[in-house]
C-alpha cells in the first residue's frame, strides 16, 4: 500500500496529512514530510479539517492507520479521545486512564510521539498545576488550538 501526503492550510499554519492507502497515517504541523509523494487528500478528510477549524466538528471520524508506537504509546494516544472538545486533562490523568498511575512523564514522552496530533488531541493535555506543558510543533499552536476549542465550545458554529 503506497503512502502519500498533501498540505492543507489552517488557522495555525500548514498541516500536512499523510495517507497510507485511504487511511490517515500521520499529521504533521508545519513540517513537510520527506520521502513521500504528493497526492490527493480525500474530500471527506479535508472537509473534516475545515469543519474542525470552523468550529463545526468536535470529533474526527476518518479511518486511521495506527501502525506506529509501542503498546503503551498507543494506549496513551487512544486515551486522548476521552478528553472532551474544549476541555483539558493532566498528564497524570492520562497516565491513570492508561492504567499506569505514576507514569506521568512516560505519558508525556508518549504524547510527544503522537503521529496524529489534532485527530488524537494531545494539545488538550496540560500540567497538573494548570501550566500548558509541552507541544512538539509549538507551544503557541497548542494555546491557539485550546483557545479555539474553548471559544467554539461556548459559541458553537452554526451548521
> Mind telling me the catalytic residues?
122
What's CA 104's distance to the chain center, in Å? 19
pLDDT string in tens for the chain (159-residue length): 689 999 999 999 999 999 999 999 999 998 999 999 999 999 999 999 999 999 999 999 999 998 789 999 999 999 999 999 999 999 999 999 999 999 999 999 999 999 999 999 999 999 988 888 877 678 899 999 999 999 999 998 765
Q: Which residues of 52-80 are buried (b: 16+ CB within 10 A; e: fewer)?
A: bbebebeebebebbeeeeeebbbbbbebb
Indicate the length of the chain as a whole number.
Answer: 159
Amino acid at each position: 500500500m503506497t503512502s502519500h501526503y498533501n498540505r492543507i492550510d489552517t488557522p495555525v499554519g500548514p498541516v500536512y496529512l499523510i495517507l497510507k492507502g485511504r487511511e490517515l497515517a500521520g499529521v504533521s504541523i508545519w513540517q513537510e514530510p520527506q520521502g513521500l509523494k504528493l497526492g490527493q487528500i480525500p474530500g471527506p478528510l479535508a472537509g473534516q479539517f475545515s469543519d474542525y477549524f470552523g468550529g463545526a466538528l468536535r470529533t474526527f471520524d476518518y479511518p486511521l492507520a495506527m501502525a506506529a508506537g509501542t503498546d503503551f504509546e498507543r494506549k496513551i494516544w487512544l486515551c486522548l479521545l476521552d478528553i472532551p472538545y474544549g476541555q483539558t486533562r493532566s498528564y497524570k490523568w492520562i497516565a491513570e486512564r492508561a492504567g499506569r498511575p505514576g507514569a506521568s512523564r512516560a505519558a508525556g514522552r508518549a504524547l510527544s510521539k503522537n503521529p496524529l496530533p489534532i485527530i488524537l488531541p494531545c494539545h488538550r493535555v496540560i500540567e497538573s498545576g494548570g501550566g500548558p506543558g509541552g507541544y512538539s510543533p509549538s507551544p503557541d499552536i497548542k494555546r491557539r488550538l485550546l483557545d479555539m476549542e474553548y471559544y467554539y465550545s461556548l459559541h458553537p458554529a452554526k451548521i
